């Protein structure tokens, strides 16, 4: 079978023996995962774990209904909503890019837990942090790092089915990879693709991210499982590519005119008002500014404070 499943929470078979696990609404922390099931009795391959232990266990229980043992886990990148459930996968070996493995735990779950706890005393920033991270439980998380890393590409075999890992970072983060299942014409993009909301450029450069989208467009696939949002085809990849080129062009105009990143984002925000998580635009503008002026990188706290401001503006 093949096709686009409805955007509903849970396991969906998107091709023969290939599954997506979706978590609407795809906003902050509500990430997708995937699974490639073996033909015979080998171990399955899981693409990503989730943001906290409860959500990850719920997903593993749901996948247990369609497959047996999970032999391999691939982390698409280092953001917590794609790897903080790693400790629950038992004896599976965990594979990621070398850069991803190094970035896991920056920031650590304890930092997010503390921010949520201190949020009531943090004003506008606190309200924002409580809204985006409050739904998750960061207690009990012990970071489990990948057992095996690679650079470039790596082909894994799941009981005869080839799964190709393609490193495309730095883009969203330092070590992003795509997980391509050629025989099924499916690709899991991790957070190289967001659907329905603004992507967020933590690392950049933008040019690398555009190249990553070009890699997807060049693949012979008809099913694209994004890191956040519904299962789509290549149209959505083109839409995000247009967004990144627009971002790079329009941010540079405002950089040259001497606008601060937050004012530039305010000035640009109407263009994509139909996409969620609009506050991310200020991080994205800041990423372009950083490319143009590497000597003045914004701090993490500055970026979250500016997002909090942008999120509350009408
Ligand atoms: Zn994510």
Summarize pLDDT for 302-314 with one digit per residue, the tens. Answer: 999 999 999 998 8
Q: What is the CATH number of the domain that holds 298?
A: 3.60.15.10
Backbone angle region of 149, left / alpha / beta, with phi > 0 → left and psi within -120 to 50 → alpha? beta
Please report where in the chains the tokens 């493995």 appear, as a residue.
101
Range of the domain at 145: 10-312
Helix boundaries (H) for 45-108: 53-64, 98-103
Residue 181 to residue 162: CA distance in whole angstroms: 6
CB 177 within 8 A of CB 63: no
Confidence band, pLDDT 50/70/90 cuts, at residue 294:
confident
The count of structural domains within the chain is 1
Q: Confirm whether 3 is domain-assigned.
A: no
Residue 288 confidence (pLDDT): 97
Q: Confirm whether 5 is domain-assigned.
A: no
Residue 300 confidence (pLDDT): 85
CA 313–ligand 1 middle distance (angstroms): 24
pLDDT tens across 251-273, in order? Answer: 999 999 999 999 999 999 999 99
CA 79–ligand 1 middle distance (angstroms): 6
Residue 270 to residue 274: CA distance in whole angstroms: 9
pLDDT tens across 181-200, in order? Answer: 999 999 999 999 999 999 99
pLDDT tens across 279-289, in order? Answer: 999 999 999 99
Q: Confirm whether 281 is domain-assigned.
A: yes
CA 13–ligand 1 middle distance (angstroms): 21
Q: Confirm whether 2 is domain-assigned.
A: no
Residues lining ion ligand 1 (Cβ < 5 A) are 31, 79, 81, 191, 227
CA 93–ligand 1 middle distance (angstroms): 21
Tell me how far CA of residue 297 lies from CA of 20, 26, 42, 287, in angstroms: 37, 28, 47, 8
pLDDT tens across 152-177, in order? Answer: 999 999 999 999 999 999 999 999 99
CA 140–ligand 1 middle distance (angstroms): 20
Mean pLDDT, range 24-36, rounded to an integer: 98
Q: Confirm whether 67 is domain-assigned.
A: yes
């Amino acid at each position: 079978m093949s096709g686009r499943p409805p955007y509903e929470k849970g396991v969906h078979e998107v091709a023969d023996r290939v599954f997506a696990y979706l978590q609407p609404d795809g906003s902050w922390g509500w990430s997708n995962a995937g699974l490639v099931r073996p033909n015979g009795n080998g171990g399955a391959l899981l693409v990503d774990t989730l943001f906290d232990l409860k959500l990850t266990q719920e997903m593993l229980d749901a996948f247990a209904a369609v497959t047996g043992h999970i032999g391999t886990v691939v982390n698409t990148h280092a953001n917590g909503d794609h790897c903080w459930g790693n400790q629950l996968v038992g004896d599976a070996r965990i594979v990621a890019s070398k850069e991803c493995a190094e970035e896991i735990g920056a920031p650590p779950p304890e930092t997010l837990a503390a921010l949520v706890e201190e949020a009531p005393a943090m004003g506008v920033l606190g309200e924002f942090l409580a809204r985006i991270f409050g739904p998750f439980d960061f207690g009990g998380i012990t970071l489990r790092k990948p057992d095996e890393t690679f650079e470039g590409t790596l082909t894994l075999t799941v009981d005869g089915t080839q799964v190709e890992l393609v490193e495309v970072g730095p883009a969203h983060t330092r070590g992003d990879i795509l997980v391509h299942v050629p025989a099924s014409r499916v690709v899991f993009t991790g957070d190289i693709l967001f659907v329905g909301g603004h992507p967020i450029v933590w690392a950049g450069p933008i040019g690398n991210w555009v190249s990553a989208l070009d890699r997807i467009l060049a693949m012979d696939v008809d099913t694209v499982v994004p890191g956040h949002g519904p299962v789509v085809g290549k149209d959505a990849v083109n839409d995000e590519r247009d967004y990144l080129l627009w971002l790079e062009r329009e941010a540079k105009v405002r950089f040259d005119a001497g606008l601060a990143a937050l004012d530039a984002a305010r000035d640009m925000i109407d263009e994509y008002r139909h996409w969620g998580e609009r506050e991310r635009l200020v991080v994205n503008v800041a990423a372009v500014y950083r490319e143009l002026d590497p000597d003045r990188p914004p701090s993490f706290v500055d970026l979250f404070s500016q997002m909090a401001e942008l999120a509350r503006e009408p």
